[in-house]
Structure 1
Amino acid sequence: MATNHSTQQPSTINPKALEGKKAVVTGGTIGMGQAVVRALTDRGAEVVYTGRNEHRLTEAQAALGTQLAHPVRSDATDMAAIAALRDQVADILGGIDYLFVNQGIAEFQTLEEVTEDSWDRIFEVNAKGSFFTVQRLAPLVSEGGSIVFTTVSNDQIFPGLSAYSGAKEAVAAFAKVLAAELLPRNIRVNAIAPGFILTPTMGVADLTDEQRSEFVEQGNAATPMGRGGTVEEVAAAALYLAVEATFTTGLELPVDGGFGQGIGG
């Protein structure tokens, strides 16, 4: 298994760098989403983060250990829940400065194995849920704020992820079109495109130990830097686009160790 070259943020983080800023992170209970929540709250931002599983929300809140983080149970496949999320965010935060649309689900299924139900499930979470989350929450984003989607490094791909890859390509398109639509409000819209990232679930539902081991081996071999990325590295890129990249919009930024860049390993 890959060695985790952790890039935990140093103790010199300014805990007031984002004081007074407010953010929403969907899919924020584990992995990359939780890392984004932690990066924001470590800098003083107040954050509403979502998840579908009450147990995971409780675990995440304990792990984060800060009153700046507000867990909200919400299902990205439920239009009523997305509408309710808008009202909950307005009640807790009022307006927001940053919106991170991070929820996602992947399932390994070959062409012959994909069913209509699995196709709908993957597109509802990744594509439909992401789009309508932004539709509902965009009115709360302040002028000069930013939205960051999580897509995937799709230039090279693993067999068995056709539905997931297609759904994430749709999200990448949303980022570009919405960057143009929200330009009059000076809201920047970008995306991060993670490659092989070491997370608790590896981004795929219901992996067996054998599948996980094979996935890690393939991921290491396919990544020119020879290792999986950390969730902290993804969070750093997401915060860069949201906070620092003030002259950047409509960009999909690969965070993939050279995975999709044609660099020889």
Structure 2
Amino acid sequence: MSFTLTTWNINSVRLRIELVAKFLKAQRPDVLCLQETKCPDDAFPAKRFKRLGYEHIALNGQKGYHGVAVISKIPFLATDIRTFCDNIDSRHISVSLQTGAADPPLLLHNFYVPAGGDIPDPEANPKFKHKLSFLDEMRACAPLHPSGDARHILVGDLNVAPHEHDVWSHKQLLKVVSHTPVECDKLLAVQAAGNWVDVARERIPLSEKIYTWWSYRAADWTIGDRGRRLDHIWVSEALRARVTDFKILRDARSWERPSDHVPVTVTMEL
């Protein structure tokens, strides 16, 4: 079967539900993973998603901040929520899906990694210290170490642009949170510990620029194209050869009242 999954930091699902509906009507992914839903579970617009054909919804939300959700056409076999750094701050949810009778389940992790504030010094900035600790815990987390024929996917706003051409200016952003060497090293260590395949960089050479986020601070995001690749899709080795397509919907950044992130989509033959 062809399986399509999208990850999108929506920056308030209730504020941007019309944009999400527009995207789902046009693209129809099997699964949509959202971050920064900024919505308690009992206020999530589940009925709207169900009317769009997405009957299965897994939530880990809170009022006004953070929050992750998985919206799916495919039923869930199980759901799970993990906490990191002893904080109950709605940054992870996982679901398992049965995509074929003879296949092992597909396990999907959806993350919203802490942004880390503005000062790249863990002693001066508790938010940056939290981010580094969160990445360390991800690296050490046994469920994030798929092996053998395990069919795992890890997606989300990981809030790190780890490679030189994942940012508009490597030199100018080396001391800017999201592209400091310590963050890049820690995110790449998470990837290496789980033997994850970074789908974007598997399909697009490291020499090419890729962005998924453009700051609201720019009056016109297209001028200078000063983006960063903060949103990621990783797959386990067992799924590497199954990937058939990868897309970043840059145009979504120009929609009315957009998120500062855009949808990122992978297609696989399972």
- TM-score, structure 1 as length reference: 0.45
Q: Which has the higher helix share?
A: 1
Q: Higher RCO, 1 or 2 (CA under 8 Å, sep at least 6)?
A: 1
